[in-house]
Structure 1
Amino acid sequence: MKGTTKPKLVLVHGIGGPRDPREELVRWKRALADGARSANLASDISALTMDWMADCSFAYYGDLFADGESQSAGSPDDLDDEEAAIVLGLLAEFLAEEAERPENQGNRALARVRAQLSPDGQPQGAGGAVRHAWAIATAVAALPGVAQVARWSSARDVLGTWSQPARYLRRKGEDAEGTTLDARIRARVLRCMDPARPTVVIGHSLGSVVAFEALASYDGPVPLLVTIGSPIATSGFVWPLLVPRPPATPHCVDSWLDFWDGDDVVVPRRKLAELVQPNERGVTPTPLQFESRMWWAHGATTYLSRGEVAEPVLRALSALSAVSAGTDTSAGTAPSAGS
């Protein structure tokens, strides 16, 4: 790789409303800087924040949810029956996992809501799935403990968490050129990348799904893929809808680190390392878990500010930057966490 240009760092966000990508880029880089301090890599902070180490890009796609069929940036008010069915599936798996937590053993209110999710007796006809999704979301928002941990105060909050993933996974929402919403979102990510330059990619939440699928068709070098708070392994309505199939580590990826917080309510218990097939070089996700004991553990900057996450990212970029500058000819693939 000697003689290549400066590496890139591409950050892919999760769900949420409109945001300023420049401000978000600053926030994510500051969080990584905090993580670098925790990992005793303070000497690399200026190189990161000033883009001396790598050219950093924030792959923003949130505005696309307001295009085409969706007019309010992925608002749950715009759900149709197909999308509502996906939302119900995601909610069912989330509640099933919540029911397994020790603190929810014997939670009768949770058991009643789960029973209402059963296909038996669901409303039929146009709008039936949408009405059912709103009814379940209303009940979930009233669940003691569960709603507070997930920061849901209303049915709109509950559906807002899952409506954007549902729209992405539906694979519809064509624009005037016939390009589906999910394809336009992936194009935003790929637009931030340069096949002639090594790129480290970090995907958070829905952004991990987007990054995974985008890299499946990418031919440039990706020494390190980092997924944080990823729902990829959600068995009911994410894993079965991933493309291409069977899901495998993208051929361009040399190392994949999958971080999840044991207190992150969005991350399923099934782990990527047990599911994703290796690429031709045998690369599979490396699972890395920690326990933050935080009330809300899913935030992107919460993950990035941890030394466990920031350290392999900074070490990979530092090694790639050194190779680009011609000061190191021994660097290979990105280091593993804790190296």
Structure 2
Amino acid sequence: MRSRLVFVHGIGGPRDPATDLAAWTRALASGMRAAGHGQAADELEGTASGEHPDQRRSVRFAHYADLFGAAQAQGGEHGRTDGAEAEALSELLVAWVAELAAVHTDDRDLAVLAHARAEAAPRAQEQGVLEVVRRALNVATTVLALKPWGAAAGWVTPKVLVGQLRQVARYLARAEADADGTCLDRRIRARVAEAVGAGPAVVVAHSLGTVVALEALHELEAQVPLFVTLGSPIGMRTLVWPRLRPQPPGVPAAVGGWLNFWDRDDVIAVRPCFERELRPGPGGIVPVSRRVDSDGVWVHSAEKYLAQPGVAGPVAQALGLADGTAHTPDGAGPRSPGPGSTADRG
């Protein structure tokens, strides 16, 4: 049985799963070709276009954005005024600014962050999500003045950024139960579990999707020869890390290799290298963190990560190895080290 490729999206607004699947597939195929894996790229694009039926690979897009939207529709423009979400978002604001301050050294940036820290501090009379969102908008406006994100104002507004942070907070709040009593985070993980199936599956997750996928894989017995995380907030020590399940955070038993990619200009991947803090999986498996450098002013995009040869090459190799027919570079680009390598650690 051929291995399955599973994409897990992250934060963001409403999505068209088919459109996103096609865009992610094109980006990954482009990166595979740049890494010298033309055959793997052809097979992947054949899947997306319906060509090469004899070589078709199952590619799934684990879509859960509609679950956030359904809850927001119940509560108006800013969603539900849920106490658990308000608390999580408030803590996220303080943690996010503190994490940024820990990795910035420029005096001007530190001054901006000092102002943002004051704005992020909880207010004594503050009640409900709406007031926290207003505070979050002020913080986001200030943070977007930092280098290099000031130029990103035309690409991502404070409102958009806060909306994305809210999704992290809502997932970690473990609230918003449906009529059956199933909370939002469990409903989201069920979508990932359905996409992964019985395996084998190479799982590529982005942003909030890395947290979702990590927790979902702990609940599955499927074989996952490679887990790839892109622009992950997993390493945020004061909010995400202590709320991960199970505790202490560790590598799922199903995972045979884990590559974690980060860009130094990614506003979400604040503390990108977390392998030393995770409990190893069977056989001593821990993540290997690698830095990539993308062009442009907003580098948190999944497509930008996927198009990187250093990201796409190991995915091509893992898919081939899982199939029992290793994809080797065809001479069109550099050979990428495998998931067990310590090369290019951030």
TM-score (norm 2): 0.84
Question: 8 Å contact 1:27–1:301 — kept in the other structure?
Answer: yes
How far, CA to CA, are the matches of 1:141 and 1:43 in structure 2? 45
Q: Tell me what 1:198 maps to.
A: 200
Counterpart selection for 1:178 from 168, 178, 181 = 181
Coordinate RMSD, CA, aligned: 2.6
Q: Tell me what 1:331 maps to.
A: none
Question: 8 Å contact 1:9–1:201 — kept in the other structure?
Answer: yes
Question: 8 Å contact 2:140–2:162 — kept in the other structure?
Answer: no
Question: Aligned-pair distance for 1:95?
Answer: 2.2
How far, CA to CA, are the matches of 2:207 and 2:31 in structure 1? 19
Q: Tell me what 2:329 maps to.
A: none
Decide which moves more: 184-193 or 34-43: 34-43
How far, CA to CA, are the matches of 2:324 and 2:272 in structure 1? 37
Q: Tell me what 1:327 maps to.
A: none
Q: Tell me what 2:51 maps to.
A: none
How far, CA to CA, are the matches of 2:31 and 2:75 in structure 1? 31
Question: Does the alignment pair 1:135 with 2:135?
Answer: yes
How is 1:48-67 mapped onto 2 (pairs within 5 angstroms)?
48-51=44-47, 52=55, 54-67=57-70
Counterpart selection for 1:272 from 266, 269, 274 = 274
User: Residue 296 and residue 74 in structure 1: after superposition, are their counterparts in 2 closer, same or farther (change >3 A)?
Assistant: farther
Decide which moves more: 205-214 or 168-177: 168-177
Instruction: Structure 1: state its 5+ residue gaps.
Output: 325-333
Question: 8 Å contact 1:261–1:290 — kept in the other structure?
Answer: yes
How far, CA to CA, are the matches of 1:171 and 1:106 in structure 2? 34
Q: Tell me what 1:328 maps to.
A: none
Q: Tell me what 2:34 maps to.
A: 38
Q: Tell me what 1:159 maps to.
A: 162
User: Residue 153 and residue 178 in structure 1: after superposition, are their counterparts in 2 closer, same or farther (change >3 A)?
Assistant: same
Question: Aligned-pair distance for 1:265?
Answer: 1.2
User: Residue 260 and residue 301 in structure 1: after superposition, are their counterparts in 2 closer, same or farther (change >3 A)?
Assistant: same
Q: Tell me what 1:25 maps to.
A: 21
How far, CA to CA, are the matches of 1:299 and 1:131 in structure 2? 29
User: Residue 40 and residue 323 in structure 1: after superposition, are their counterparts in 2 closer, same or farther (change >3 A)?
Assistant: closer
Question: Aligned-pair distance for 1:259?
Answer: 0.6
Question: Aligned-pair distance for 1:283?
Answer: 0.7
Deviations 1:197-227 (A, max 9, x none): 3110001000001100000011011100000
Deviations 1:273-305 (A, max 9, x none): 021101122111111113335311110000000
Counterpart selection for 1:114 from 112, 117, 139 = 117
User: Residue 139 and residue 70 in structure 1: after superposition, are their counterparts in 2 closer, same or farther (change >3 A)?
Assistant: closer
Question: Amino acid of the residue matched to residue 229 of structure 2?
Answer: T
Aligned length: 321
How far, CA to CA, are the matches of 2:126 and 2:294 in structure 1? 44
User: Residue 144 and residue 321 in structure 1: after superposition, are their counterparts in 2 closer, same or farther (change >3 A)?
Assistant: closer
Question: Amino acid of the residue matched to residue 123 of structure 1?
Answer: A
How far, CA to CA, are the matches of 1:104 and 1:88 in structure 2? 26
How far, CA to CA, are the matches of 1:253 and 1:84 in structure 2? 34
How far, CA to CA, are the matches of 1:57 and 1:256 in structure 2? 19
Question: Amino acid of the residue matched to residue 124 of structure 1?
Answer: Q
Question: Amino acid of the residue matched to residue 156 of structure 1?
Answer: K
Q: Tell me what 1:187 maps to.
A: 190
Question: Aligned-pair distance for 1:92?
Answer: 2.3
Instruction: Structure 2: state its 5+ residue gaps.
Output: 48-54, 327-337
Question: Does the alignment pair 1:123 with 2:119?
Answer: no
